[in-house]
């Protein structure tokens, strides 16, 4: 049983959607996916994902514009100017980044709630006992149900990813485009181009650093969704009393947040101990060390969610195998 479980979990590749996994050919997935109208096929999911992505970008852009105008109008009349509008647009962007982070934390509750509803719907309809009594393997049952729950949480995850992508291109607009449109200034863009021409390696490292941070910032909701849906399944199958599932789910989420805080503090202490040994005698050295830090942080985030997902699914598989 342990060897089968290990081979099954190792065979799961990093996928962009539940339809990318071989488990989608499982009969349970084929049965359950029919109830999800936006994800009945890979093509319908792709179309729906694009629709959510563009709509969310439009909504987030309107929110940013609204915040910028609100902050401008909150200033005294004599102080209002195009330069103040530029400043307030940057302040609105910072608020938007904060909102995106908070909404990202809300994804945990959405994923766990979706998994809990799915599992208890099966239990209440007495379909779960029938599924466990079939000849289907425990890993196949767990992984197919996880794919279904991930598909149900797909909309929220895509909306959060789209919002984060929007904040990134708004940041580029505020930095390079708005000064030209509002004030006729090309200073930021000129500084960047002249610096790129004078110190190409330094600017290439800066761009790579920005792209790396942006990738982790955008991809983190996908990793979070896959892990938290697995956690929601584990809590639902371990705690059968519906009155206690919500309490157990919240407790699990807060425990995961506490563990993440401990990891962040540990990394911060580790970096503060290691960085003094580097001699920052050039800006290239600084970007090199910053790049290493970003890589370590990215691998830590990805590894944490991957281990959490596999641990939760392993617990679900063992519980199903025990009940068979």
Closest CA to 18 of 197, 149, 174: 149
Residue 202: pLDDT above 80? no
In order, the DSSP letters of 75-113 are S-GGG--HHHHHHHHHHHHHHHHHHHHHHHHHHHHHHHH
Q: What local confidence, expressed as pLDDT, does residue 14 receive? A: 40
Burial track 76-108 (b if 16+ CB lie within 10 A, e otherwise): eeeeeeeeebbbbbbebbeebbebbeebbeebb
User: What is the mean pLDDT of the segment spanning 136-164?
Assistant: 89
**Has residue 8 been placed in a domain?**
no
Taking only the tens place, the pLDDT of each residue in 60-112 is: 999 999 999 999 888 888 788 888 888 999 999 999 999 998 998 899 999 99
Q: Please give the radius of gyration of the chain, using alpha carbons only, rounded to the nearest integer.
A: 24
Angle, CA of 294, 212 and 275, to the nearest 5°: 20
Average pLDDT, the chain: 83
Closest CA to 60 of 217, 170, 147, 153: 170
Residue 166: pLDDT above 90? yes
Q: Which residue range forms the structural domain that includes residue 288?
A: 20-323
**Has residue 13 been placed in a domain?**
no
CA pair distance 141, 230, nearest whole angstrom: 13
Q: Which residues contact 242 (CB under 8 A, 6 or more apart)?
A: 120
Helix, strand and coil percent figures for the chain, each rounded to 5: 90, 0, 10
Q: Could you tell me the two tokens for 99?
A: 């909102």
> Of the ranges 79-83, 117-121, 153-157, which one carries the lowest mean pLDDT score?
117-121
Angle, CA of 189, 191 and 197, to the nearest 5°: 105
Residue 28: pLDDT above 60? yes
**Has residue 160 been placed in a domain?**
yes
Residue 312: pLDDT above 80? yes
Higher pLDDT, 56 or 135: 56
Taking only the tens place, the pLDDT of each residue in 284-303 is: 777 778 888 888 999 999 99
26, 151, 303 from 138: Cα distances, Å? 12, 20, 25
Q: What local confidence, expressed as pLDDT, does residue 11 receive? A: 43
**Has residue 14 been placed in a domain?**
no
**Has residue 5 been placed in a domain?**
no
DSSP state of 16: S
Instruction: Give the sign of the dihedral formed by CA 58, CA 60, CA 61, CA 66.
Output: positive
In total, how many domains does the chain have?
Answer: 1
CA pair distance 96, 107, nearest whole angstrom: 17
Residue 34: pLDDT above 90? no
Q: 252 pLDDT band (50/70/90 cuts)? A: very high
Q: What is the three-class DSSP state of 72? A: helix
pTM of the predicted structure, to 2 decimals: 0.85
CA pair distance 283, 205, nearest whole angstrom: 10
Using a pLDDT cut of 90, give the percent of the chain over it: 35
User: What is the mean pLDDT of the segment spanning 136-150?
Assistant: 85
Instruction: Give the sign of the dihedral formed by CA 59, CA 62, CA 68, CA 72.
Output: negative
CA pair distance 294, 241, nearest whole angstrom: 43
């Amino acid at each position: 049983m342990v060897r089968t479980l290990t081979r099954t979990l190792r065979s799961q590749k990093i996928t962009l959607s539940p339809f990318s996994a071989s488990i989608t050919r499982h009969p349970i997935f084929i049965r359950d996916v029919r109830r999800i109208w936006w994800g009945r096929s890979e093509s319908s999911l792709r179309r729906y994902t694009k629709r959510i992505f563009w709509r969310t970008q439009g909504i987030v852009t309107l929110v940013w514009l609204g915040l910028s105008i609100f902050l401008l109008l909150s200033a005294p009349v004599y102080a209002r100017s195009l330069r103040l509008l530029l400043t307030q647009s940057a302040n609105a962007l910072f608020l938007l980044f904060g909102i995106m982070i908070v909404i990202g934390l809300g994804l945990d509750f959405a994923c766990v709630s979706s998994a809990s509803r799915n599992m208890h719907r099966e239990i209440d309809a007495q379909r779960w006992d029938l599924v466990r009594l079939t000849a289907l393997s425990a890993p196949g049952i767990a992984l197919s149900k996880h794919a279904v729950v991930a598909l149900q949480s797909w909309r929220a995850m895509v909306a959060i990813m789209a919002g984060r992508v929007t904040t990134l291109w708004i940041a580029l607009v505020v930095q390079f485009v708005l000064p030209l449109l509002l004030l006729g200034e090309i200073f930021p863009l000129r500084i960047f181009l002249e610096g790129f021409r004078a110190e190409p390696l330094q600017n290439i490292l800066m761009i790579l650093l920005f792209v790396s941070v942006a990738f982790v910032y955008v991809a983190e909701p996908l990793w979070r969704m896959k892990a938290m849906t697995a956690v929601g399944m584990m809590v639902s199958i371990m705690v059968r009393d519906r009155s206690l599932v919500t309490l157990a789910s919240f407790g699990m989420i807060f425990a995961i947040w506490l563990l993440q805080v401990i990891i962040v503090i540990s990394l911060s202490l580790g970096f503060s101990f290691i960085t003094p040994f580097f001699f920052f005698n050039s800006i290239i050295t600084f970007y090199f060390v910053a790049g290493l830090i970003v890589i370590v942080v990215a691998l830590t985030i990805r590894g944490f969610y991957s281990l959490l997902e596999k641990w939760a699914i392993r617990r679900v598989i063992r519980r199903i195998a025990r009940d068979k």
